Structure 1
Amino acid sequence: MARPLKIGQNEFKFKKDAIAHYKAILNSYDFGHSLNDSDYEAVIDLLYYDYLNCLGTEGELQEDSDEAQELVENSVDTNAEDISIEDIKVARVQFNTKCFEVFYSDNTSQYISYLMLINNPKYDPEMLFYAACRNAVHADIHAVKQGYFDNHSVKGQVKCQETGILSKWTELAVDHRQPHTFSIIVDRFKEVNNFDFDAIEYTSSLDNQLIFKDENLTQSFRDYHKAKANLRIVRKECNSSRTGLARVKKTTKDLTIK
């Protein structure tokens, strides 16, 4: 018998019940509106639930809202100190649909999908590797965005490099130009090095990010990413519409050379 799904203090008998709960929260708000206190805590609990899955420690830490918020807030990687979640709103994304948008105290934000967070299985070794790679270059990508604003900002806005629309910091994301999407860069890095993923060790940074225990591996990926990545600053809806593009997963029907 399947175990109940526990997200924060809420326990759901089936996964579909958790999905219905968060769908109801999302649909109860108009675009651009902030969540009330109880719904805010519910989404924080969902972020915390996903973070524990990534570290493989679900259920090992006390699941209360204060600790959940502290861990999630600290998991944001920037060079600034005391980064925290300041607000969660309902955002308009592709095809006029809704999603949650988390706003941080360093004036950045990110879209989150409750469906992906709830449906996400336990992370396998390659997924942990991907997360650590993403965290390894977060500061580098942030620096690219900051540099673009420093050089091109007019009254706090710059032009999206794809649409030409003047946009604020929170409306823009750093996009990896095809064919070197981030997932492709990670895949090529794995192929070049032929890693034994079960042997790779991870730890948490001071701000509770999943990182490689071997600092040389972190630097190696940073160098490889720097050599391969072609970046642009684009509006988030442009970036999100290409999420997963060029990422091909193996299936049981795939044929391989023996």
Structure 2
Amino acid sequence: MKICELSSVGWQRDRTILDEIDLTIQAGEHWVFLGPNGCGKSTLLKLMCLREWPTRGRLRLFGQDFPGHPVFSAQRRIGLFETRQIEGLIENYPSLSILEAVLLGMNGTLPRYVSPTSEQILRATEMIQAELPPALRPDSAISPLSAGERRRVLLLHCLASRPDFLLLDEPFENLDIRAQLHLQDQLMKTLPEIAASVLVVHRIQEIPPQVSHAALMQRGRIIAAGVCEDVLTSENVSRAYEIPLNLSVERRPFRQYQWSRI
């Protein structure tokens, strides 16, 4: 099943941000997007979650063309992880609890405005207890939490609606190594339950072992795409970042990439 198809897609405002993007994401595939700052990775995610429309080309999600079909029903099948989401919630609702954040992801509405069912409360509570440490209780406020803890809550918020397609925009950025590994562990448990996903990262070391496919971007174009073993090579990565890089792979206990300057 094709989850997302982009054919000759471009996106432009005062300048061209994306140009001639051709990419198909199938069910069962988990992708990582890599490339230098400003190459269009985050803009491409905005198209995939229907926050923006292509200015040219064709976009299909779940077998439907967009624009051309109702957006809301498709968006409910998409989970979007953006770190600014949780910060915006805290700014607008300083007393927001972990449980409320998860229920918001489940229903699209804060429980203080629309009462959730007992089944929804039970499911949200079970998610929290299964994925977060005991110190992070369902009634704990989010505002005092560390950046890493907030992002673990945000991941539960994104998963609460049981999305088919999960998009994560730089989830590990500015986290210390402990927080990064905890979030990565949580993500590793999650990916097998999702039909397809796209992860944007800056550092190749952050790629979880479950990622099956990679796309390298440069100046608004995809310069290489396919299974990780074919795409993530020293030659391709050096081309994307326009600097000589050596890429190595550690395969035990699981696959992990490292890069260094030549």
Category of TM-score, reference length = shorter chain: under 0.3
Flag the structure with higher helix content: 1
Normalised TM-score (structure 1): 0.26
Q: Which has the higher contact order (CA 8 A, sep 6+)?
A: 2
Flag the structure with higher strand content: 2
